[in-house]
Amino acid sequence: MDRFPNDSWSPTRTDVLALLAEAPVVDAGMIPNASNYVFLLALEDPSAGRGYAIYKPGRGEAPLWDFPPELHRREYASYLLSEALGWHIVPPTVVREQGLEHGVGSLQLYIPHDQNRTFFDLRDDFPEEMHRFAVFDWLANNADRKGGHVIIDGDGRLWGIDQGLTFHVEEKLRTVIWDYASETIAPALLADVEELGAQFPDGEIALQLRDCLAPAEVERLRECAGEIVRVGRLPEAPKDRRPYPWPLI
């Protein structure tokens, strides 16, 4: 494939996770300029037709000094967290082991979007949604929220992509979304985070995350949820380390 497609399966399909996990791969192309191996896959299903997914194989990761391997599992954990909160801001994602040339990795539904429109172009028109992203990234301890990692689809819906550097046990938040620092978190968002926290240690999301993350990382998420509810406002940018990812886009 030499270009990004203009259509894909709908993220609201009830069978979209099954399609990502099982549909045969009929074409593939490497996405250039990525720090790890990343592929755009075309998948074909007799009843659903053709859809597209972003494939991040574990074998294609460059080693990092501060994150363990298998970053694709953090992509999946980010999707699980988004769904557990009811925010649905991460495209449908699975960890797939079969039928992939480069082995086990994450498959995330490709969302057609204008790649020239980033967070910096969208923030003024979507303040409530960006506020939600800021809370999500704090909760997930996102160390790499670049401007291009917030996209808008053809229906005007925002999505967050590229969440492999998440859920570290140490404070790692690096993001371009500091516009809402110290602002009060909306009550509805706080209620969602509080409900999430109540599912630990033995609720469904806690059990799901234990298959993706280390026990200490799951515990750090539980603690952060409690802190968010207790503090009720977004954090200030840290002064003792770089608060922004590099590059910004």
- d(CA 126, CA 150) in angstroms, rounded, equals 11
* Residue 205 belongs to some domain of the structure: yes
* Residue 167 belongs to some domain of the structure: yes
* Residue 85 belongs to some domain of the structure: yes
Contact 39, 99 (CB under 8 A): no
Q: For tokens 């968010």, what's the residue?
A: 228
* Residue 245 belongs to some domain of the structure: no
* Residue 240 belongs to some domain of the structure: no
* Average pLDDT of adjacent 10-residue blocks, the chain of 249 residues: 87 98 96 90 97 96 94 98 98 97 97 95 97 98 98 97 97 97 98 97 95 97 98 96 95
> In terms of Cα–Cα distance, which of 138, 187, 179 is closest to 160?
138
What does DSSP assign to residue 238? P
The tens digit of pLDDT for each residue in 44-68 reads 999 999 999 999 999 989 999 999 9
Domain that holds residue 218: 16-231
* Residue 174 belongs to some domain of the structure: yes
pTM for this entry: 0.97
Contact 160, 133 (CB under 8 A): yes
* Residue 7 belongs to some domain of the structure: no
- d(CA 118, CA 32) in angstroms, rounded, equals 18
* Residue 6 belongs to some domain of the structure: no
